[in-house]
């Protein structure tokens, strides 16, 4: 019985850039979102107002801060647990706010919101795993 991964999997996992690229993949949507919102401030404020968050400008600024600071912490490896926690909590709040499928009538919109909600839960799991790995690395 084989107890280790195939050699090609070990080679990928041992490659010096794998961890960095995995972290970048995990935070890429947040990093891009923060940059786009910063560049298109009126649209960022309008997005917050659309979701009923007031004052919208304050929520837009907080969103941008989390979407930029969280990834920077994770990519730098400094306080990665904090960046993972920031993005995990943000993602949960965003999923509840933007994808409240439980209050929607059956149909395409509910189907899409349900999928998006559970995709966000998957991201939260990724952030929890990252925080666990960061703790193990520091121990």
Contact 66, 86 (CB under 8 A): yes
pLDDT in tens, the chain (139 residues): 567 899 999 999 999 999 999 999 999 999 999 999 999 999 999 999 999 999 999 999 999 999 999 999 999 999 999 999 999 999 999 999 999 999 999 999 999 999 999 999 999 999 999 999 999 998 9
Domain positions in the chain are 7-138
CA distance 132 to 22: 15
- Signed CA dihedral, 105, 56, 84, 93: sign only: negative
Question: pTM, whole model, 2 decimals?
Answer: 0.92
Q: What share of the chain is helix, strand, coil (3-state, %, to 5)?
A: 80, 0, 20
């Amino acid at each position: 019985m084989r107890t280790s991964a195939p050699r090609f999997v070990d080679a990928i996992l041992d490659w010096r850039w794998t961890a960095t690229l995995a972290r970048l993949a995990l935070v890429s949507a947040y990093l891009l979102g923060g940059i786009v919102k910063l560049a298109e401030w009126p649209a960022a404020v309008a997005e917050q107002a659309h979701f009923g968050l007031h004052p919208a400008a304050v929520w837009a600024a907080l969103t941008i801060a989390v979407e930029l600071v969280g990834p920077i912490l994770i990519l730098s490896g400094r306080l990665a647990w904090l960046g993972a926690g920031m993005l995990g909590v943000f993602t949960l709040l965003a999923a509840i706010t933007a994808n409240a499928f439980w209050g929607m009538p059956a149909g395409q919109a509910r189907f899409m919101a349900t999928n998006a909600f559970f995709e966000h839960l998957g991201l939260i799991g990724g952030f929890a795993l990252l925080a666990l790995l960061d703790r193990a690395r520091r121990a």
